[in-house]
Every structure is written in structure tokens, then in C-alpha cells.
Amino acid sequence: GIYNHQLTESVEKVPFLGDLPILGSLFRQKMVNDTRTELLVFLTPRIIKPVNSSN
């Protein structure tokens, strides 16, 4: 299969208050998103008999 791993970090904050040195952590939120996906391809072999054409 094909593997994909994506790690995303984002910060949401209240303007100005989220930037304060001591109290800023009360007004901001940090999020980490870890996404892993896998693509699997399944193949099923089949035997096809040739068609006899009578002329």
C-alpha cells in the first residue's frame, strides 16, 4: 500500500491577549493533529476463456 503521515500544529488565540508574556497562555490554544492514511489496492485475477468463432 501507499502510506501518508501528516502532522499539523496550529495555534488559535485572542488578538492582543494571546500575545501577553505571562497571561497569554490563558487566551490561546495549541492543537496538534496527527493524520495517517493508507491506500490499499486489491487485485483479483480471473481466467478468461477465449471465445470460439465458427465460420
Spatial contact of 4 and 34, defined as CB atoms under 8 Å apart: no
Average pLDDT value for residue range 31-38:
97
Average pLDDT value for residue range 18-23:
92
Residue 3 scores a pLDDT above 80:
yes
Q: Rounded to two decimals, what is the model's pTM?
A: 0.52
Sequence-distant (6+) residues with CB within 8 A of 35 are 4, 5, 6, 7, 8
Query: Domain coordinates of the chain in residue numbers?
Result: 2-39
Query: What band does 55 get if pLDDT is binned at 50, 70 and 90?
Result: low
